[in-house]
């Protein structure tokens, strides 16, 4: 790890599991009998907005009951101390990385605590429940929706992510099943550009074969240990 300067970390639902947030594809992955792929779509929002809002309202409300865990804390420490480039790309729509103190990060799948106007594109902080035909304060269209990237929509900030992956020396994936693209393909892009690749996950994932190394275990244990290795004796 001595020659590493630039790091990209990809996180998924597994990093927040020990905080008490359900993952998408675990044993508790079904929600009211629906697969996530059937709820998180523009078509579902148009056909059954109450269902989609209920899904995200429940997740937004759950944020008040949870706290960052040791894995979020360790990444925030890496963010504070690491002198090379670092980008934490999270697929998570919770705010646990920020609450732990991470700043060099982005939400590629959107955020629960944000609303998006489908008419004018304005984003705004959002804390409470949502319902159909909420009025946008910027353009007055009844078009507010969760600021979440639905299946079939383009993830946020892909140019910035691609640029960071193309120049990183180490790509680390934490707590993600490797089931959803484009994030699932980042490891191959990183390898293509010559980066070392490391996966930290509770189980082998669909992408494990593409990593130089996979460490199996809970993020709350593996991530602090890895950050300690990276930072050595630095406080
Ligand atoms: P998944 O639910 O698909 O996968 C979670 C992964 O975390 C699995 O591989 C688990 O083995 C692992 N895991 C569970 N508990 C863990 C722990 N304590 N420590 C480490 N790993 C653990 O979640 P994602 O891969 O994040 O999209 O799902 C990707 C996207 O699919 C999500 O961002 C979401 C969903 O549809 C949107 O919301 C747009």
Spatial neighbors of 6 by CB under 8 A, at least 6 apart, are: 84, 85, 86, 164, 167, 168, 169, 170
Whether residues 61 and 115 fall in one domain: yes
Say yes or no: 92 and 115 in one domain.
no
Per annotation, catalytic residue among 97, 109, 192, 193: 109
Instruction: Please check whether residues 170 and 215 belong to one and the same domain.
Output: yes
Q: Are residues 105 and 115 in the same domain?
A: no
Q: Do 17 and 97 reside in the same domain of the chain?
A: yes
Phi, psi of 88 (to 5 degrees): -95, 115
Q: How far apart are the first and last CA of the chain?
A: 18
Please give the pLDDT value at position 24.
Answer: 84
Burial (0-12, 13-18, 19+ Cβ within 10 Å), 203: exposed
Closest CA to 11 of 84, 82, 78, 83: 78
End-of-domain residue from the set 148, 169, 197: 148
- In short, whether 68's Cβ falls inside 6 Å of ligand 1 is no
List the domain range (segments joined by +) for residue 121.
23-65+110-148
Residue nearest to atom 9 of ligand 1 (CA): 177
Residue 162: HSE in the Cβ half-sphere, 13 Å Cα cutoff: 6
Question: How many domains, the chain?
Answer: 2
50: its two tokens: 């109450």
- Ligand 1 pocket residue status of 105, Cβ below 6 Å: no
Instruction: Tell whether the model's pLDDT for residue 38 goes beyond 90.
Output: no
Identify which of 54-58, 72-76, 178-182 has the greatest average pLDDT.
72-76
Q: Are residue 28 and residue 99 in the same domain, yes or no? A: no
Q: Please check whether residues 133 and 28 belong to one and the same domain.
A: yes
Of 155, 147, 177, give the one whose Cα is nearest residue 17: 177
131-166 residues labelled b (16+ CB within 10 A) or e (exposed): eeebebeeeeeebbbbbbbbeeeebbeeeebeebbe
Q: What is the CATH number of the domain that holds 89?
A: 3.40.50.1220
Q: Are residues 140 and 46 in the same domain?
A: yes
Point out the ligand 1 atom lying closest to the alpha carbon of residue 155: 39
Which of 98, 118, 148 marks a domain boundary? 148
* Tokens read off for 114: 């944000």
What are the residues facing 89 on neighbouring strands? 10, 106
117 and 171 together in one domain: no
Regarding whether 219 and 116 lie in a shared domain, the answer is no
Q: Between 101 and 2, where is the model more confident?
A: 101
What CATH number is given to the structural domain containing 57? Answer: 3.30.1600.10
Per-residue DSSP letters for 161-202? HHHHHHH-SEEEEES--S-STTGGGHHHHHHHTT-EEEEEES
Q: Taking Cα atoms as reference points, which of 41, 20, 5, 23 lies closest to residue 175?
A: 23
pLDDT at 103 over 90: yes
Mean pLDDT of the chain: 94
Q: Give pTM, 2 decimals.
A: 0.96
φ, ψ dihedrals at 200, nearest 5°: -120, 110
Q: Domain check: are 93 and 124 in the same one?
A: no
> For position 30, what pLDDT does the model report?
63
Beta bridge partners of 138: none
Where is the domain boundary, 121, 148, 175? 148
Residue-level pLDDT at 36: 82
Q: Residue 12 CA: which ligand 1 atom is closest?
A: 26
Asked if 109 is an active-site residue, the reply is yes
Ligand 1 nearest-atom number relative to CA 92 = 33
* pLDDT surpassing 70 at residue 175: yes
Q: Both 123 and 226 in a single domain?
A: no
């Amino acid at each position: 790890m001595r020659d590493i300067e630039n790091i990209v970390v990809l996180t998924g639902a597994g990093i927040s599991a020990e905080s008490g947030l359900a993952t998408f594809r675990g044993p508790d992955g079904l929600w009211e009998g629906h697969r996530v792929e059937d709820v998180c779509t523009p078509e579902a929002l148009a056909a059954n907005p109450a269902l989609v809002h209920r899904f995200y309202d429940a997740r937004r409300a759950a944020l008040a009951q949870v706290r960052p865990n040791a894995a979020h804390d360790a990444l925030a420490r890496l963010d504070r101390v690491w002198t090379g480039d670092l980008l934490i790309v999270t697929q998570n729509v919770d705010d646990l990385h920020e609450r732990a103190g991470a700043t060099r990060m982005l939400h590629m799948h959107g955020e629960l605590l944000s609303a998006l106007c489908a008419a004018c594109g304005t984003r705004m902080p959002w804390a409470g429940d949502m319902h159909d035909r909420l009025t946008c304060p910027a353009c007055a269209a009844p078009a507010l929706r969760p600021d979440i990237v639905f299946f079939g929509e383009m993830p946020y900030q892909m140019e910035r992510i691609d640029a960071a992956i193309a120049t990183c020396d180490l790509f680390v994936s934490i707590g993600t099943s490797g089931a959803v693209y484009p994030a699932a393909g980042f490891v191959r892009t990183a390898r293509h550009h010559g980066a070392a690749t490391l996966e930290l996950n509770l189980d082998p994932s669909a992408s494990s074969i593409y990593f130089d190394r996979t460490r199996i275990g809970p993020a709350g244990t593996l991530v602090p240990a890895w950050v300690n290795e990276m930072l050595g004796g630095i406080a």
